[in-house]
Amino acid sequence: MPDEHRAPEAPHASETPHASDTLHTSDAANASITPHTPGESRYPDEQREAVYRVIAERRDVRQGFRPDPVPADLLRRVLAAAHQAPSVGFSQPWDFIVITDRARREQIAALARRHRDEFAAGLPGARARAFDRLKIESILDTPVNIVVTCDRTRGGRHTLGRHVQPRTADFSSVLAVANLWLAARAEGLGVGWVSFFDERELAAALRLPEHVEVIAYLCLGYVTGFAPEPELATAGWARRRPVSWAVHAEEFGRRGLPGEEPVDPLADVIAAIAPPDAAAMTAAAERQDRMTKPRGSLGVLEEVSVRLAGLAGACPAPLPEPACVAVFAADHGVHAQGVTPWPQEVTAQMVANFLAGGAVVNAFAAQAGAEVTVVDVGVAAPLEPVPGLLPRKIAPGTADFTQGPAMTREQAMAALTVGLEIARDLVAAGNRCLVTGDMGIANTTASAALICAFTGADPAEATGRGTGVDAATYARKVDVVCRGLALHRPDPADPVGVLAAFGGFEHAALAGFILGAAALRVPVILDGVISGAAALAAAALAPDVTAACFAGHRSVEPGHAIALSRLGLSPLVDLGLRLGEGTGALLALPLVQSAARALRDVATFDSAGVTEKQ
């Protein structure tokens, strides 16, 4: 907490020579304030509305700048507004460099272009295409550029608050940007923030002194209009998260707005899951019959397109792209029972491999143009933070389910919540198709137990050889599942209890992920037996969840077919895979996308003037 927000402490005389003056001054300042009742200091309605209006209508602008010069007095007003920002210890660490010179702007625009190209080169297929359509800087389209800087040393070592949190200097300069942005909007001036720079490179190009950092590069100019929504939202790149997702009551995770009931994310998600839209499905089926091809000739893909339309509530459904595979990784206490020849460390090692781009999931994702996100939901080993890894560890692995429940109910709920929040975040980030993936040594044993618990299947039929175990290990695996079922006597009507009894954290998180996708009416392509077991838990919580689910493939694990049949889903491919990671689902991704594209793009007999079969 910055010092100025702490309860006042007795100043140390030798360190703060003018402490008594300061106190005296602040007493005097307080004395000059006439006490107000709550609400009395409020602005008149019209002025309050103007404040909220400028906040709501401020836009980051990149298109439609006009070449008209910006009057100097207007620039002075906007800069004065920026200069009134709050700052740590009143250190006012900002400076503003006003750039109008064309040659200088051309040099800076070239820097930004290079980083734009580098960023574009690292994007997966559909994202790269969407990015290509976006404009991300207007350095040359605007008559004025303003660089907001930060001097983290200004004010010396006793700057209040900054000594514990050096970043507060940067935060202060950002607040100056916010003031400038709002004042500019009120003046009818568009502002675009460009951050496609290497900070040191930009600082050198601007010939900044060593101790001065760049905080923001802003492009200012009159505009033809202000968009009602962020351009990135209109372009489908990302969505605004509802404010209720962002506000927590007392503790992180207890989401809810003041004065409203706390949000129960799982209950909310379950309540939002609805059956498919019958009218959209009928329209899609009818359109398939009118498309320039023999009726039914697209086989299963016709049904896929009809289901996509039902899920979206629109015919044709939007294309399920960009897509993102979320690989949920966790360890299992049941590993101690000798159910696999692989050591537990392999989970963490494979996570590192996913993040380095070296696993099969990375190859298939690259081929299909999908993004890979890895979620540590319970890997036994501590993992270093790296880009692409979401750290959401509930615990370092579950307990051995032959000895007691694998996790507590609270842990199962926490993992479910992680999954549904990740689904929401990935959809808010612009993904239109989610793909399930998993990593967890021993997780086929946990999956078999879950499938038996939810379907009543015989452990000997539902248990498979996983990564390829010998006969003795296989027999032990079946016995472990039998012992677990005997110990816990699971009640399939209590899905959270079943997950807690046997599940891995990745199963519970995947169940939440699938529910989260269904609640947002975004298709989710299921991978193999681990996802199948998780989907059974999801369907037990919300039966209509299956409307969003597409079975990517059939794994050779026998439990997977049992799960799919209970879910009423037909696998799209059957290639004898038994790898997990999301690999089978990724192979099905182009099939689901092609089904949607055919429904959207293929001409009908009437529109194309093609004669129908007699």
Ligand X SMILES: Cc1cc2nc3c(=O)[nH]c(=O)nc-3n(C[C@H](O)[C@H](O)[C@H](O)COP(=O)(O)O)c2cc1C
Catalytic residues: 581
Give yes or no for residue 136 binding ligand X (CB under 6 A). yes
Report residue 181 as tokens. 């942005």
User: Which CB, 196 or 454, lies closer to ligand X?
Assistant: 196
> How many residues make contact with ligand X (CB under 6 A)?
11
User: Which CB, 62 or 332, lies closer to ligand X?
Assistant: 62
**In DSSP terms, which residues pair with 526 in a beta bridge?**
551
User: Which CB, 197 or 513, lies closer to ligand X?
Assistant: 197
Position of tokens 């740590």? 88
User: Which CB, 215 or 533, lies closer to ligand X?
Assistant: 215
Give yes or no for residue 62 binding ligand X (CB under 6 A). yes
CB of 375 vs ligand X, minimal distance in Å: 25
Give yes or no for residue 194 binding ligand X (CB under 6 A). yes
CB of 423 vs ligand X, minimal distance in Å: 21
CB of 292 vs ligand X, minimal distance in Å: 40
CB of 522 vs ligand X, minimal distance in Å: 21
Give yes or no for residue 230 binding ligand X (CB under 6 A). yes
* Interface map 21-60 toward ligand X (x if CB under 6 A): --------------------------------------xx
Q: Is the Cα torsion angle 511, 517, 521, 523 positive or negative in sign? A: negative
List the one residue out of 395, 386, 322, 381 whose CA is nearest residue 354. 386
Radius of gyration of the chain (CA): 29
Query: Cβ distance 404 to 357 under 8 Å?
Result: no
State the Cα–Cα distance between residues 536 and 582, nearest whole angstrom.
Answer: 17
User: Which CB, 170 or 461, lies closer to ligand X?
Assistant: 170
State the Cα–Cα distance between residues 333 and 327, nearest whole angstrom.
Answer: 20
Could you tell me which stretch among 12-20, 31-39, 65-73, 187-195 binds ligand X (CB under 6 A)? 187-195
- Residue with the shortest CB distance to ligand X: 230
Chosen residue from 131, 193, 245, 474 binding ligand X by CB under 6 A: 193
Could you tell me which stretch among 65-73, 190-198, 469-477, 551-559 binds ligand X (CB under 6 A)? 190-198
Query: Cβ distance 374 to 472 under 8 Å?
Result: no
State the Cα–Cα distance between residues 109 and 103, nearest whole angstrom.
Answer: 10
CB of 55 vs ligand X, minimal distance in Å: 10
Residue 117 burial by Cβ neighbours in a 10 Å radius (0-12, 13-18, 19+): exposed
Chosen residue from 94, 196, 354, 401 binding ligand X by CB under 6 A: 196
User: Which CB, 137 or 438, lies closer to ligand X?
Assistant: 137
User: Which CB, 97 or 249, lies closer to ligand X?
Assistant: 97
State the Cα–Cα distance between residues 59 and 260, nearest whole angstrom.
Answer: 29
State the Cα–Cα distance between residues 71 and 374, nearest whole angstrom.
Answer: 50
CB of 129 vs ligand X, minimal distance in Å: 17
Give yes or no for residue 232 binding ligand X (CB under 6 A). yes
How many alpha carbons fall within 13 Å on the CB side of residue 251? Answer: 2
Give yes or no for residue 195 binding ligand X (CB under 6 A). yes
What one-character DSSP code corresponds to residue 70?
P
CA distances from 31 to 24, 27, 463 (A): 11, 6, 77
CB of 196 vs ligand X, minimal distance in Å: 5
Report residue 383 as tokens. 């993992």
Backbone φ/ψ region at 88: left (φ over 0), alpha (ψ -120 to 50), beta = beta
- Give residues in contact with ligand X (CB under 6 A): 59-60, 62, 136-137, 193-196, 230, 232
